[in-house]
Amino acid sequence: MELVEDLVLSHPSARDLSIDEKRQLIRSVFCSLRRELEILHDYANDPDVSEIMVNGTGGIFVERKGCIVRLPIAFEDAEDLEKVIRRLAAHVGREMNDLHPIVDARLQDGSRINAVDRSIALGGPILTIRKFNKNRMTMEDLIRRNDITREAADLLSRLVQSGYNMFVSGGTSSGKTTFLNILSDSIPSGERVIVIEDSAELAIRNHENLVRMEARKANAQGKGAVTIADLIRTSLRMRPDRIIVGEVRGGEVVDMLQAMSTGHDGSLSTGHANSPAGMIVRLETLFLAASGFPIEAVRNQIAGAIDIFVHLKRSPDGRRSVWSIAEVAGYSDGVVQLNELYHRVPHRGLVATGNRLIHVEKLIQNGLADEEHAEDAR
């Protein structure tokens, strides 16, 4: 670094630069010489940065502590940015070119990259890096931040322990993966857990009997693909106590819901939606597209498979919080009925609705029902 400083400061063109500009130039040259992420190097190593977004040569943005800010740097040209993208893709055996203009991959440290070639991105190559959070959050962290109440957290913990099937919904970057990690902490340590993901991001801990599988895209010849649906089907032959699917976004919804409704209690998954009711509609749509089943049969399947929906939302200030916890009460009058237990109220946080949990059988069987739930069952 000292050598780079001497070279930069001795160059005639550096004389008219401000101190901040000189510092930025030194850092850019140093990162370029390291030839990994080049000018993105410092931000990739910044623990406060959770996402890096490069919009071609037009600008670089980062999400730092929940807020998106524009950086005072940019790649000089599309070729420099393409070099970084190809270098990252090569680390995981991928390539980006006219035949493969989109790269979606996981790096060795768990970070996820998405890149789009300039042949289809009009402003130049696009690169998005979602960083792997090395400091795994816990339920206690969420309680301290008022993202969930202790009462609601205690209920969710007991529901997970008792084998309720749960679905975590929310928008992009709402914290679904983080929350799924936290829920998994309540799975009894002696159970066999099968984790299935499109891109490995979950950090399940405290489980010795753990199997992790990752879907695989087809090769350049269009062969060798292994889908999440394939992995769910094969997981059923692995004697699972719990099946955790990182995200349901396609035809695998059929296999996931069938697994949930055929004895694999305590399964967990996530999906994109704006509310628990919206998640049900999305699951219906995905199921219908993949199976062609009658809508009545699809809704019955959803109602019989999922016990609890937890909905997360990202606030304008960047906070990711629990906004709703709802029980699937059943199916009647052509609608999957929801019994909302908690919802977030402005200036009050997450509050109980006053509705009682209807289906308490699993809690009672596992000795985890409180007095009120036990009384409701009687």
DSSP-based three-state secondary structure for 355? coil
Verify that 79 and 170 share a domain, yes or no: no
* Cβ atoms 357, 341 nearer than 8 A: yes
* Mean local confidence (pLDDT), 293-300: 93
Using one digit for the tens of pLDDT, what is the confidence trace for 232-281?
Answer: 999 999 999 999 999 999 999 999 999 998 888 999 999 999 999 999 99
Long-range contacts of 335-340 (CB under 8 A, 24+ apart): 335/299, 336/280, 336/299, 336/302, 336/303, 337/303, 338/276, 338/277, 338/280, 338/309, 340/276
* Mean local confidence (pLDDT), 173-188: 93
pLDDT at 11: 59
Is 6 a member of any domain?
no
DSSP-based three-state secondary structure for 368? coil
**In the predicted structure, residue 378 carries a pLDDT above the cut 60:** no
One-letter identity of residue 219: N
* Cβ atoms 162, 144 nearer than 8 A: no
> Which of 80, 104, 130 is the last residue before a domain boundary?
130
Verify that 125 and 143 share a domain, yes or no: no
pLDDT at 1: 45
Is 147 a member of any domain?
yes
Contacts of 313 (CB under 8 A, 6+ apart): 170, 171, 174, 320, 321, 323, 344
Cα–Cα distance, 287 to 253 (Å, whole number): 6
* Mean local confidence (pLDDT), 136-145: 92
Is 27 a member of any domain?
no
* Cβ atoms 57, 76 nearer than 8 A: yes
* Mean local confidence (pLDDT), 114-141: 88
Verify that 273 and 352 share a domain, yes or no: yes
Which residue from 342, 353, 359, 348 is spatially nearest to 154, judged by alpha carbons? 342
Verify that 260 and 339 share a domain, yes or no: yes
Residue 33 — very low, low, confident or very high, per pLDDT cuts 50/70/90?
very low
Q: Which two structure tokens, joined as six digits, stand for 330?
A: 């059943």
Residue 4 — very low, low, confident or very high, per pLDDT cuts 50/70/90?
very low
Is 223 a member of any domain?
yes
**In the predicted structure, residue 49 carries a pLDDT above the cut 70:** yes
pLDDT at 91: 73
| CA dist 299 → 254, 294, 313, 332 (Å) | 12, 9, 25, 10
Verify that 158 and 126 share a domain, yes or no: no
Contacts of 138 (CB under 8 A, 6+ apart): 182, 185
pLDDT at 112: 84
100: CATH: 3.30.450.370
Range of the domain at 96: 35-130
Average pLDDT over the chain, rounded to an integer: 87
pLDDT at 244: 96
Verify that 105 and 86 share a domain, yes or no: yes
Residue 284 — very low, low, confident or very high, per pLDDT cuts 50/70/90?
very high
pLDDT at 205: 83
Residue 12 — very low, low, confident or very high, per pLDDT cuts 50/70/90?
low
Cα–Cα distance, 185 to 204 (Å, whole number): 7
DSSP state of 356: P
Which residue from 125, 128, 124 is spatially nearest to 116, judged by alpha carbons? 125
* Mean local confidence (pLDDT), 188-193: 93
Q: Which two structure tokens, joined as six digits, stand for 261?
A: 């409704």
pLDDT at 45: 84
272: CATH: 3.40.50.300
Q: Which two structure tokens, joined as six digits, stand for 257?
A: 């819901």
Verify that 105 and 218 share a domain, yes or no: no
Cα–Cα distance, 127 to 166 (Å, whole number): 33
Is 228 a member of any domain?
yes
Q: Which two structure tokens, joined as six digits, stand for 141?
A: 């962290």
Which residue from 250, 243, 247 is spatially nearest to 199, judged by alpha carbons? 247
Read off φ and ψ for residue 297, nearest 5 degrees.
-65, -40
Verify that 261 and 358 share a domain, yes or no: yes
Residue for token pair 């009058």: 333
* Cβ atoms 313, 280 nearer than 8 A: no
**In the predicted structure, residue 8 carries a pLDDT above the cut 60:** no
Verify that 91 and 53 share a domain, yes or no: yes
Verify that 113 and 170 share a domain, yes or no: no
Verify that 42 and 188 share a domain, yes or no: no
**In the predicted structure, residue 3 carries a pLDDT above the cut 90:** no
Residue with more model confidence, 32 or 199 = 199
> Which of 96, 130, 164 is the last residue before a domain boundary?
130
Using one digit for the tens of pLDDT, what is the confidence trace for 87-120?
Answer: 888 777 778 888 889 988 777 777 888 999 999 9
> Which of 130, 163, 192 is the last residue before a domain boundary?
130
Verify that 122 and 143 share a domain, yes or no: no
* Cβ atoms 168, 279 nearer than 8 A: no
**The 193-197 sheet, strands edge to edge:** 210-214, 193-197, 242-245, 268-272, 166-170, 308-314, 320-332, 335-345, 349-352
The number of distinct structural domains making up the chain is 2
Using one digit for the tens of pLDDT, what is the confidence trace for 299-354?
Answer: 999 999 999 999 999 988 778 999 999 999 999 989 999 999 999 998 899 999 99
Using one digit for the tens of pLDDT, what is the confidence trace for 350-371?
Answer: 999 999 999 999 999 999 987 6
Helix ranges (DSSP H) in 52-197: 78-91, 139-144, 150-161, 176-184
Q: Count Cβ atoms below 10 Å from residue 375 Cβ, excluding itself.
A: 11
User: Greatest CA span in the chain, whole angstroms?
Assistant: 86
